[in-house]
């Protein structure tokens, strides 16, 4: 039995009857003028406070427009596949373009092969089409090879670069938001590619909690959110009402140690962690409300490598996140267009075979 849910009840015996009310000198009669005046003032104060709260709540709800957020940010969200040629191990996730030249931030576990204990040899990035149709071949037509630049297993962050042609137009960018301005209860959206769901799926929710040193890793600070996140959402953005990325979706909790099902407990790495890590790797980024490099200004990219977790010198804190508040649950707003990872990788393999066949044909023509 869980004693947390047992209320302590005392004094079950027979209670004595309360003493009769007595008139006391100087007491104001309930319906006197003075009494009515005091009640009236209190009532109007209460009504005014209620109206102010209602207006603020309505204004906050009106400011949050998931459809507009999706339309303005989804182009900056990419599908990522990673695998080794000829191997069964493979991975799929989501990423966000954070630089016009094609820098993409995602989770380390999306591009890291846990069997070989090294990054996958091949990384592909797919841009969102003008319209997601549910046809896997059409929806993944804008594919690029990508190169791993930086990796931190402990922070679960990775930076990859889209291998685009020189002179290509700049990619649409998703800017970082300052997580210090985010409060518990703030509305957010998540965009990603959940397993058994649709590509570029939009879900909504709220910030449920804030946790420091998540998984006992110093500096790995996260938000807990009830926005629906599943496998395939890894590395994707958690976006605020202004259309800026407040966190990077990373972990989910679905089952307790004793087998009890857990719902709506998801964790996203705060944007401040990503900004600090990128800066330590030689990639300076500013929050959306601060000064940023001028459009078209190129960033000097450092050498690639694996970046360790910044040593904060602090003792990790053990903190447990409370469950999210009850209320309207997270909603999936995009039309369901199911796909499977097997179909996606089968398509990638087919494209590779077609490419090799074309290359062989060209070589034969040159020989003869």
Could you tell me the two tokens for 364? Answer: 């034969």
Q: Length of the chain, please? A: 368
Catalytic hit among 76, 234, 268, 272: 234
Helices (H) and strands (E) in the chain, counts: 6, 15
Catalytic annotation on 156? Answer: yes
Contact partners, residue 245, CB within 8 Å, separation at least 6? 96, 98, 174, 175, 176, 177, 237, 238, 239, 271
Rounded-to-integer distance, Cα 195 and Cα 192, Å: 10
Catalytic hit among 96, 109, 139, 208: 109
- List, in sequence order, every beta strand (DSSP E) within 128-243: 143-152, 157-162, 187-192, 201-211, 222-225, 237-239
Radius of gyration of the chain (CA): 27
**Read out DSSP for 212-266?**
SSGGG-TT--EEEE-S---TT-TT-EEE-TTS-EEEEEEEEEEE-TTS-EEEEEE
Location of structure tokens 């679960």: 156
Catalytic annotation on 109? Answer: yes
**Quick one: DSSP state of residue 169?**
P
Rounded-to-integer distance, Cα 341 and Cα 343, Å: 5
Catalytic hit among 139, 156, 213, 240: 156
Provide the 3-class DSSP secondary structure of residue 129: coil
Closest CA to 247 of 155, 361, 149, 124: 155
Q: What amino acid positions are annotated as catalytic residues? A: 109, 156, 234
């Amino acid at each position: 039995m869980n004693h947390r849910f047992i209320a302590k009840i005392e004094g079950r015996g027979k209670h004595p009857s309360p003493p009769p009310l007595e008139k006391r000198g100087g007491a104001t009669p309930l319906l006197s003028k003075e009494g009515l005046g005091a009640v009236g003032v209190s009532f109007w104060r209460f009504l005014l406070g209620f109206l102010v709260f209602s207006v603020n709540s309505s204004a906050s709800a009106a400011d949050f427009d998931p459809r507009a957020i999706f339309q303005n940010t989804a182009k900056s969200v990419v599908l990522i596949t990673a695998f080794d040629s000829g191997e069964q191990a493979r991975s799929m996730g989501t990423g966000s373009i954070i630089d016009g030249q094609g820098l993409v931030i995602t989770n380390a576990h999306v591009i890291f092969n846990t069997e070989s204990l090294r990054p996958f040899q091949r990384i592909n990035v797919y841009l969102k089409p003008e319209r997601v149709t549910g046809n896997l071949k059409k929806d993944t037509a804008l594919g690029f090879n990508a190169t791993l630049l930086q990796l931190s297993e402990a922070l679960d962050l990775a930076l990859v670069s889209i291998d685009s042609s020189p002179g290509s137009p700049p990619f649409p960018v998703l800017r970082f938001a300052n997580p210090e301005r985010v409060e518990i209860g703030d509305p957010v959206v998540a965009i990603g590619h959940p397993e058994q769901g649709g590509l570029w799926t939009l879900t909504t929710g709220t910030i449920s909690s804030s946790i420091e040193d998540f998984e006992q890793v110093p500096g790995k600070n996260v938000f807990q959110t009830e926005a629906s996140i599943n496998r395939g959402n890894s590395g994707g953005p958690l976006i605020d009402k202004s259309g800026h990325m407040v966190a990077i979706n990373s972990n989910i909790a679905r089952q307790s140690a004793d087998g009890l099902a857990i719902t709506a407990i998801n964790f996203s790495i705060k944007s401040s962690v990503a900004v600090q890590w990128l800066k330590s790797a030689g990639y300076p980024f500013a929050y959306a409300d601060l000064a940023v490099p001028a459009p078209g200004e190129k960033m000097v990219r450092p050498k690639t490598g694996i970046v360790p977790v910044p040593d904060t010198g602090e003792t990790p804190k053990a903190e447990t996140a409370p469950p999210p508040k009850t209320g309207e649950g997270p909603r999936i707003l995009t039309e369901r267009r199911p796909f499977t990872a097997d179909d996606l990788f089968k398509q990638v393999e087919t494209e590779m075979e077609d490419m090799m066949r074309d290359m062989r044909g060209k070589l034969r023509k040159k020989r003869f």
